[in-house]
A and B are shown apart, each in its own frame.
Chain A
Amino acid sequence: MTDPYQILGISPGASDDEVKAAYRRLSQQYHPDLQSGNSVMEDIANQKMSEINAAYDEIMNMRRSNSSSGNPYIEIRRMIESGNYTNADNALEGNRQDTSAEWNFLKGTVCLSRGWLNDAYTYYEKAARLDPSNREYQAAFNQMRNKRSGQMYGNPYNTGNSKQDTANCLCNACQCLICADCLCDCI
């Protein structure tokens, strides 16, 4: 069977609105009523029209199942982004049997938002282990690992910090310059 996207003349990455617009444009172009009087043209138009309808239905069905049962995580991600953690967690709990990296990652994110750091660490670790090639999971896990090793953001007492070393370095440079300047005055 031919690619439904090809029939509508759009790319698979097109938005729902673009799909609808393409469908409307083509169905106006090939509408059998416009070809009335010419029986051959009418037949072709009818055939084309049924192809367009089938392609449109197929795309729409595909997209609907992706967002409901095929990949429920798009919706959950949206909930997390808008701060709706309770609903996101309920939806995740509904998919408990799922052990994919994505599930673990999202569960970890919900836990982190609630301050449940021990669980967040465990879930992130699992996500990173299940899918080592995913950069998002790795970044989240690394961040948690840094936290666990005692990193504190903005710690002014952190002497091992490279930033402070630079500051020290600059201070030394300034001191040298001032001393040199004093010497110049003496001479």
Chain B
Amino acid sequence: MFGYIKPFKPYMRFSEFQVYNGFYCGLCKNLGKNYGQLYRMMLSYDFAFLGILCCSFNDKPLHFEPQHCIIHPFSKKLCLKDIEVLDFTAAAAVISVYQKLCDSISDTGLIKSIPYRLLRLLAKRGYKRAIRKYPDTASKIQLEMNRQLKLESENCTSIDYACEPTAQIMSELAGKIPEDREQSETFSGFGYHLGRFVYLADAYDDAEKDLKKNNYNVLLNYSKDINTAKKLADDNINMSLSMIAEYYSKMKIKRFKDIIDNVIFLGLKSFSMPKKQKKQKEIVL
């Protein structure tokens, strides 16, 4: 379910790309410092976007600095130095990754889930630390994940219901960013549809696999024909993207507007590109 919120690189300025990566590096360092090395390896680009969103709302100066890291041992990469601004984002990443692990365990059989179980055992300590820092957010995410399991076991047939848990999680995370109530509501709405988008994009990508393996997929509950199912997902994704744009226009963003524009108007839209095509420089709009 991760990896759908990302920039569209061909249309990105180089400086913007550096900032984006700088956030990713900063987040990675924050995870290493607060939650252990394991979580660093499981970090996805989605949370770099959440980090940028957190910082776009205020105008506290941020410092970037060329630094080494394990993945880039020889060349220095521009990295966000003030990693404490990413505390919330890091905790959100930890909680989500841990819940995702739990989800994978319950999805797979007993033997196949052994590696996940081992990982979860190792991840437990960091997760507990994140819960202690943000108990409300953690319990909300836990609640929604349970709801998702329940919906899946009931073989839910409504697209809107099926999207609800993921949407609510993202809504909760985004709503925490601004302090004043009105903006918080706008951010929640933005997050809701971002989550809805992520769930649908995931269902879209997995449709063929789920059909073959006879797994749960809400789209296949509407139609067993893969093209009809995908068209339905496409329509719903478009509606959610439109809502995202609507909420985004009301958000009082102070900086990184170009980066967020790129993610929202190009990055999200390119979700359906096949993995091979993603590397191409061709623009599909």
Contacts and interface: CB of A to CB of B under 8 A. Distances in A.
A55 interface: no
Given A149-B238, A157-B285, A115 B249 contact: no
Pick from A118, A119, A148, A156 the residue with the most CB of B within 10 Å.
A118
Interface of B is mostly: helix
Contact of B266 (A146, A148, A151, A157): A157
Nearest to A114: B160
Interface in A116-164: 116-119, 121, 144, 146-159
A117 B11 contact: no
A119 B242 contact: no
Given A118-B159, A118-B160, A157-B285, A152 B241 contact: yes
A19 interface: no
A119 B238 contact: no
B196 A115 contact: yes
A111 interface: yes
Judged by DSSP, the binding face of A is loop
A146 B248 CA distance: 18
Nearest to A160: B285
B33 to A, nearest CB: 36
Contact of B238 (A147, A155, A156, A157): A147
Contact of B239 (A121, A153, A155, A157): A121
B261 interface: yes
Contact of B261 (A146, A149, A156): A156
A157 B260 CA distance: 13
B167 A155 contact: no
Contact of B248 (A111, A118, A154): A154
A157 B265 contact: yes
Given A115-B167, A148-B235, A153 B189 contact: no
A147 B242 contact: yes
Contacts of B160: 111, 115-119
Given A115-B189, A118-B159, A154 B238 contact: no
B249 A154 contact: yes
Contacts of B235: 121, 148
Nearest to B285: A157
Nearest to A156: B261
A150 B261 CA distance: 16
A135 B240 CA distance: 24
B220 to A, nearest CB: 15
Given A117-B236, A156-B265, A147 B248 contact: no
Interface string B158-198: 11100000010000000000000000000001001100100
Nearest to B258: A156
Contacts of A121: 235, 239
A151 B238 CA distance: 8
Most chain B CB within a 10 A radius of its CB, from A119, A144, A152: A152
B245 A152 contact: yes
A16 B168 CA distance: 44
Contacts of B246: 153
A108 to B, nearest CB: 12
B249 A148 contact: no
Contacts of A144: 239
Interface in B241-285: 241-246, 248-249, 261, 264-266, 269, 285
20 contacts: A115-B189, A115-B193, A117-B160, A117-B239, A117-B240, A118-B160, A118-B236, A144-B239, A146-B242, A147-B239, A148-B235, A148-B238, A149-B238, A151-B238, A153-B242, A153-B246, A156-B261, A157-B266, A158-B265, A159-B285
Given A117-B243, A148-B239, A150-B242, 8 more contacts: A115-B189, A115-B243, A117-B160, A148-B235, A148-B242, A151-B242, A153-B242, A157-B285
- 7 smallest A-B Cβ distances: which pairs? A116-B160, A147-B242, A152-B245, A117-B239, A150-B238, A118-B159, A147-B239
